[in-house]
Structure 1
Amino acid sequence: MKALRLPLALLFALLPAGAWAGSDEAGAPQVTIEQGQLAGTREGELAVYRGIPYAAPPVGERRWKPPGPAPNWSGVRSAPEFGPACTQPALPPSSLYYEPLRRTSEDCLTLNVWAPERARKAPVIVWLHGGSLRVGSSASPMYDGANFARRGAVFVSLNYRLGALGWMAHRALSDESSGHVSGNYGLLDQIAALRWVRANVAAFGGDPDNVTVMGESAGALSVSYLLVSPLARGLFDKAIVQSANARAFPALAEPVFGMPSAETTGERLFDKLDLRDLPTARAMDAQQFVDRAAQAGFSPQGTIDGEVLPMQIIDAFDRGAQAKVPVLAGINSGEVRAQRALLPPAPTSAEAYEDAAKAAHGDLAAAFLRLYPSDRIDQSMLATARDGIYGWATERIVRKQAAEGQNAYFFVFDHCYAAARARDLCAFHAGELAFVFGRLRREDLPPNWPVPSGPADAALSQTMMDYWVSFAATGTPRSDHGPAWPGYGEGEAYIRFDHGAHQATDPLPGMFELHEEIVQRRKRADRQWFLSAGVDVSPERR
């Protein structure tokens, strides 16, 4: 049966009262939210509001504290521009992911709203940007929400604290906390933003009872955290997860899986930076602190603290303790082509590769070599890292949600276009974002991004946007330009996006089973399982 064509007004009512609740004398759209009156900008048929504070500025004594209440204001607050990005280290200009930032600040907890004209009870999509929890901004032109809003959704994007300002735990911070926990401040920011959406999105025409949280890479990791955090329960109704990972995370106060406690890591960072106490650390310039923390090797990630994150992600899903919501999730076939730094040194021969596989995986080596053969070492190592980091973790989320009776949909983005092929970047990590957001022009993309071109790229983008918005609206992805998307529970069904959208089954045969066994063995041995599925011949890592 042909899939339903999705017009701009999806399967919800568009009535006169809604996003443009009013306008000023110049015709700018206005809404009234809990904090006061807000004036946005009219952009075609859309009302757009940027730089709205959703929490108190996390500065001074509020550094390394949960987000406080959002400020109120009197009169009408103008919201034409994005707020500053959260303080972060600079990427080298040569990086594929480099993007110049207009402003950065520790006072960065703002969000942005794109809303269709006269929307009422429209589906809401909340976007969490990627960037390894170190870098990124909701102001990236690639993350513009206009195409989602033109399809009838209210689209919200936000900034959250990054790096050591957003994810560092420390015993002194735990001691001053009412819950005796620390870390996870960036995740608490995301939860605060979802609470803001729940309280205020109806003013923009959105339905607070139909919220989809969506993220890619570190944003997808954040969605995974939200799925298992009790503090986020009930704040969203669906999840879109693009290129997630589910490594072991440090516990707050004790070593686990070969890692020191999160508090110990924070204390060691203070020692490296010659910071004697919290007042000294809070007085340090934010940019200087973030830069020096990054140079000292601090790696931002969630902390298993028993409160915000009560247990490891995989344990929560194994116990059925995750949010029972529909999910749409997937990976890119060439994820690691843009992340070759994650790969260990390549063996110099097929024999060395096979020996390394046997040393690493023992009785699983034969299964490993069937999936990742020695006759194409480079391609096998790229595939191994893709599957060990992203493929297994993302498919696991879909499997577990399907087993819970939830709508669960899986995809593989396998599309290549001329500019990406010329740089050996076919279906690279984050490469699907230009298509998901419908941002295919040079000016829409980071300066080093390979730019899609041609009608096939534009057609694929239209199809993907249809699927994403209809999933947010109804829990079922549909497009008039693509096939019906069966649930993963129907024989491991999925959609492959290449030169179009195609139904298939069993996305990467044998992949999930092998990596699940590798992870479970390492978990039982109390060892970290991240980046553990490949081969490595370097002496220091054997």
Structure 2
Amino acid sequence: MDAARAVDDTVVVTRGGVVRGRDDGRAISWKGIRYARPPVGALRWRAPVEAEPWAQPLDAVTFGAASPQRPNPAVPLGPDTVMDEDCLFLNVWRPAAPAEDARPVMVWIHGGAYTFGSASQPLFNGTTLVADGDVVLVTINYRTGALGFLDLTGHATPQQPFDSNLALRDVLLALAWVRDNIAAFGGDPERVTVFGESAGGGILTALLATDAASGLFHRAIIESSPATSMYGTDRSRTVADRFLAAAGVSTDEVDRLRTLNVEAIVDAAMTVYADIPSEFPGTLAFAPVIDGELLREAPITALRNGRGLPVPLLIGTNKDEATLFKFMKSPLMPIKGEAIDTMFENMRADNPGLEAPTREQVLDAYETVRHRTLGLGIATDIGFRMPTVWLAEGHSRVAPTYLYRFDFTTPMLKLIGIGAAHATELPYVWGNLTSAPKDPTFKLGGYRAGVEVSKRIRARWTGFAHGGEPDAPGSPWPAFDEGSRATLTVGRADRVVDDLDRELRGGWGDRVLAFR
């Protein structure tokens, strides 16, 4: 069945079948649309397969299941969330107001350390974003943790084949669904902007360096990408071996993996999730793999050298990224001195022949930073800021690129030492400033200023999706180039600063530093 016009405001004919949504007065939403067959049984750890058509109209009014994961207070899924390995669903929002022309499309890729999160998180309710921004929005689930990022290809046999980069393949299939179906929802398949944060930003960083993604999106917005946290097959084989040991599966009985209880998979994955960064500071257990097939080279290398897909890019980080990881006692970021020293040693070993900066050179960039926050600054910059700067430098040579740093915080977040931490920009991007009932963000004030920040940042994000420059009323944002290095700082008042990262670049240098 070909994509066709909407039968009425809430009923849409897709290639797979009819879907019936819900109109809340500001936006119409369709939730829980299957884009792939259940990745279970023989399809566990295999590339996703396009969903089969359905015969009866689908009441698309509830979210599909989230990928199985442990509860994490930093990534609240919502009280009614169901978890299931059968999780490859997507959701669509569009403004309730009619439009004569097709609207631009924004496709959201959620974050969560490649291990947590879902498209159905309350924070990602799309009503405000689409109603005020006049866009069609798609939010997608992908497989997380070991189910989406464990690379078992080194243990494959003719009888037990495995595929790599499963979550990336999930996203690619979802983007193909958007290309084939979004016109029926009033979206323009020739104006698709992908946007994502943290792990979602990392996935998009990988897709920018992936030939298979060519033509599936036309602009990209990347927030707080761990752009250098992608590794080769030697490291992924180490993770796979650790996972098998944690799951109690020997290397000569990989056939058991197809029938292993999913709770046992999540448990083993969480063991490896904590152990790998503790033993190898600065690295992640689960992340995209440079497999020589889907990812032929490290994305940071491809993008730094101008070999990424030449689409306009909006990219940036938050000023105090690492404070969230310290606050949550997360093992993911090397914050203490011993861990940072080990990270430097491992990085030098992984970059033989590269004139990596010495520890003393790097510390010179933090001479004005108080000692107790030194580790937080180093972790923020090697994990997020410097990879983003390196990436922006390279991509600006092939497509318009806009670099930002999100600095806005509230009195309460500043008081408890979080500041503009990792993910704190998300409520402002979505216009959902009070989506969590116990959110302490505005307990000491700052809400009125936050509303204005949200209006400006949403105007920039959606204006960019419409095909323009990411300007806000009275606040233009010039493109980044290696001459002026114009960078937008988002605060109570937005400012454009030339070469905001000059001191950091002096300390870290202009050579990409990454683990292999």
Using the size of structure 2 for normalisation, the TM-score is: 0.86
Q: Which amino acid aligns with 2:6?
A: A
TM-aligned CA deviation for residue 281 of structure 1: 1.2
Partner of 2:90: 111
Is 1:337 the counterpart of 2:313 in the alignment?
A: no
Q: Which amino acid aligns with 1:21?
A: A
Alignment of 1:109-188 (within 5 A): 109-116=88-95, 117-119=97-99, 120-150=101-131, 151-171=133-153, 174-176=156-158, 182-188=163-169
Q: 1:79 to 1:240 in 2, by over 3 A?
A: same
TM-aligned CA deviation for residue 98 of structure 1: 4.2
Aligned length: 480
Q: 1:68 to 1:19 in 2, by over 3 A?
A: closer
Q: Give SS of 2:316's match.
A: strand
Alpha-carbon distance in structure 2 between the residues aligned to 1:174 and 1:517: 39
- CA deviation profile, 1:448-481 (whole Å, cap 9, x unmatched): 562474321101100110000000111411222x
TM-aligned CA deviation for residue 183 of structure 1: 2.3
Alpha-carbon distance in structure 2 between the residues aligned to 1:154 and 1:177: 43
CA contact (8 A) 1:248 1:312 kept: no
Alpha-carbon distance in structure 1 between the residues aligned to 2:315 and 2:173: 24
Partner of 1:263: 237
Alpha-carbon distance in structure 2 between the residues aligned to 1:445 and 1:44: 22
Q: 1:385 to 1:161 in 2, by over 3 A?
A: same
CA contact (8 A) 1:168 1:182 kept: no
Alpha-carbon distance in structure 1 between the residues aligned to 2:291 and 2:162: 6
Alpha-carbon distance in structure 2 between the residues aligned to 1:196 and 1:432: 28
Partner of 1:387: 381
Is 1:487 the counterpart of 2:461 in the alignment?
A: no
- CA deviation profile, 1:335-354 (whole Å, cap 9, x unmatched): 1111124244358xxxxx9x
Partner of 2:7: 22
1:233 counterpart (189, 199, 214): 214
Partner of 2:457: 464
Partner of 1:508: 501
Alpha-carbon distance in structure 1 between the residues aligned to 2:24 and 2:211: 38
Alpha-carbon distance in structure 1 between the residues aligned to 2:213 and 2:357: 41
TM-aligned CA deviation for residue 398 of structure 1: 1.7
Is 1:415 the counterpart of 2:408 in the alignment?
A: yes
Partner of 1:283: 259
Q: Give SS of 1:335's match.
A: coil
CA contact (8 A) 2:247 2:268 kept: yes
1:208 counterpart (163, 177, 189): 189
Where in structure 1 are there 5+ consecutive unaligned residues? 1-17, 348-352, 530-542
Is 1:323 the counterpart of 2:339 in the alignment?
A: no
CA contact (8 A) 1:238 1:475 kept: no
1:293 counterpart (269, 272, 289): 269
Alpha-carbon distance in structure 2 between the residues aligned to 1:191 and 1:344: 34
Alpha-carbon distance in structure 2 between the residues aligned to 1:325 and 1:147: 26
Q: Give SS of 2:458's match.
A: helix
1:272 counterpart (246, 262, 284): 246
Q: Which amino acid aligns with 1:292?
A: A
Q: Give SS of 1:288's match.
A: helix
Q: Provide the alpha-carbon RMSD of the alignment.
A: 2.8
CA contact (8 A) 2:387 2:512 kept: no
2:422 counterpart (397, 422, 429): 429
2:29 counterpart (48, 58, 68): 48
Q: Which amino acid aligns with 1:327?
A: L
CA contact (8 A) 2:304 2:395 kept: no
Q: Give SS of 1:385's match.
A: helix
CA contact (8 A) 1:334 1:429 kept: yes
Q: 1:424 to 1:271 in 2, by over 3 A?
A: closer
- CA deviation profile, 1:260-299 (whole Å, cap 9, x unmatched): 3x23432342233222433311111212211222124472
Alpha-carbon distance in structure 1 between the residues aligned to 2:358 and 2:68: 44
CA contact (8 A) 2:365 2:507 kept: no
Q: Which amino acid aligns with 2:377?
A: A
Alpha-carbon distance in structure 2 between the residues aligned to 1:181 and 1:425: 41
Q: 1:396 to 1:61 in 2, by over 3 A?
A: same
Alpha-carbon distance in structure 1 between the residues aligned to 2:495 and 2:488: 5
CA contact (8 A) 1:392 1:516 kept: no
- CA deviation profile, 1:383-411 (whole Å, cap 9, x unmatched): 2111111101112222212112x111011
Q: Give SS of 1:105's match.
A: coil
Q: Give SS of 1:426's match.
A: coil
Using the size of structure 1 for normalisation, the TM-score is: 0.82
TM-aligned CA deviation for residue 310 of structure 1: 0.9
Q: 1:455 to 1:49 in 2, by over 3 A?
A: same
Q: Give SS of 2:239's match.
A: helix
Q: Give SS of 1:133's match.
A: coil
Q: Where in structure 1 do 4 or more consecutive aligned residues deviate above 3 Å?
A: 95-101, 171-178, 360-367, 446-449, 516-520
Alpha-carbon distance in structure 1 between the residues aligned to 2:159 and 2:237: 13
Higher relative contact order, chain-length normalized (CA < 8 Å, sep 6+): 1
Partner of 1:402: 396
Partner of 1:71: 52
CA contact (8 A) 1:97 1:446 kept: no
Q: Which amino acid aligns with 1:398?
A: A
Q: Give SS of 2:58's match.
A: strand
CA contact (8 A) 2:335 2:376 kept: no
CA contact (8 A) 1:118 1:205 kept: no
Partner of 1:222: 203
Where in structure 2 are there 5+ consecutive unaligned residues? 277-284, 349-354
Range moving further from structure 2, 470-479 or 149-158: 470-479
Q: Which amino acid aligns with 2:422?
A: H
